[in-house]
Structure 1
Amino acid sequence: MKINGNEIRPGNVIEHDGGLWVAVKTQAVKPGKGGAFNQVELKNLINGTKLNERFRASETVERVRLDQKDFQFLYAEGENLVFMDSDTYEQLELARDWVGERAAFLQDGMVVTVEMYEGRPIGISLPQQVTLGVAEADPVVKGQTAASSYKPAVLENGVRILVPPFVESGERVVVDTEELTYVRRAD
């Protein structure tokens, strides 16, 4: 779908210079001399490189629609993670490096959303929050004020986060998978 250069918004995926790019930031600029343009910060979906580009209103770019499909996490096999399409039962293998550090939050049966372009995986979204057990938590230091002090803890998946002083080893906590932060105690 073709759109004008001044219609690019953050989150739009466009085809530019032979690659797929997502608009991170956009700013409409109207200089005193010359025509208006849209200053766009782009991030390559394949290799993560960034690019600043100017698009004039008269230019057109190809806006790309990504297919989103739900996949269920099955298991990890070496450096690969195996997912299954919930509808067709086809399996998809993704490299652990491609998923990144958030791969530690994958749990058996967890449903994730994979963005695809022409049958090729481009991005993956995990649930916003997961519940995990605290494997080890440092003891509370006497004299620390409870209001602002957090202590280090290691979750059952090996990820280190900061938790409030009242959280002990063995408790279950809810963790934000994007920010890698403590949210609350699990019910």
Structure 2
Amino acid sequence: MPKINGNEIRPGNVLEHNGGLWAAVKVDHVKPGKGGAFAQVEMRNLRNGSKLNERFRSADKVERVRLEQRDMQFLFESEGLLTFMDAETFDQVTLPADILGERRPFLQDGMTIVVEFYESEALNATLPQKVTCTVVETEPVVKGQTAANSFKPAVLDNGVKVQVPPFVGPDEDIVVNTETMEYAERA
């Protein structure tokens, strides 16, 4: 596995640290007035979900792990576990539902997502960046409300609340960005 310097860590990188696999969630580069610069890294353990804050100086070397990414189809959820199937080999993999966090409601039946593997162990799942949802409930259009940055609350078919432009009405399909959980465009 390639070793990288502490100042080369980026959010999303997977590192081998203290005998575990950690995903860098947030990275802040700090240059204090006295002493050398360092990276303050917030990491999440890919196996048990625990969090850790660690400081890496630029001279520190860390193992960067490359995860194999496979497209898999979502089949079903039972007892807090999500089951996915590889479309080519028909192998099935289960992951805990909380691995998707607050993005869990955007997972739809039959959706193809990316599952990341370390050797043969499934560790992480990533939703597509954009998902189409239907607006179930929103306020009616107010005449004259055409300001550039005006948004109104809307409830989607999966129960998630997002802010939408004033021209979007009930029963309309919209595209939502799953990374920012915001309205992207009309479908």
Q: Which interval holds the TM-score relative to the shorter structure?
A: 0.7 to 0.9
Residue of structure 2 in register with 1:21 after alignment: 22
CA contact (8 A) 1:5 1:56 kept: yes
Query: Following superposition of structure 1 onto structure 2, how do residues 74-85 of structure 1 map, counting pairs within 5 Å?
Result: 74-85=75-86
Query: Following superposition of structure 1 onto structure 2, how do residues 23-172 of structure 1 map, counting pairs within 5 Å?
Result: 23=24, 24-25=26-27, 27=29, 38-46=38-46, 47-55=49-57, 57=59, 59-141=60-142, 144-172=145-173
SS at match of 1:100: helix
Identity %: 45
**Aligned-pair CA distance for 1:146:** 3.9
CA contact (8 A) 2:99 2:125 kept: no
CA contact (8 A) 1:37 1:54 kept: no
Q: Runs in 1 of length 4+ with deviation above 6 angstroms?
A: 30-33
Letter in 2 for 1:39: A
Residue of structure 1 in register with 2:3 after alignment: 3
**Aligned-pair CA distance for 1:39:** 2.7
Letter in 2 for 1:62: E
Letter in 2 for 1:160: K
**Structure 1 CA distance for aligned equivalents of residues 113 and 57 of structure 2:** 34
CA contact (8 A) 2:4 2:64 kept: no
CA contact (8 A) 2:71 2:114 kept: yes
Letter in 2 for 1:185: R
Letter in 1 for 2:177: D
SS at match of 2:98: helix
CA spacing shift, 1:53–1:78, aligned 2, 3 Å: same
**Aligned-pair CA distance for 1:167:** 1.0
Between structure 1 and structure 2, the one with the greater Rg is 1
* TM-score normalised by the chain length of structure 2: 0.82
CA contact (8 A) 1:9 1:26 kept: no
**Structure 2 CA distance for aligned equivalents of residues 162 and 12 of structure 1:** 31
**Aligned-pair CA distance for 1:71:** 0.7
Gaps of at least 5 residues in structure 2 are none
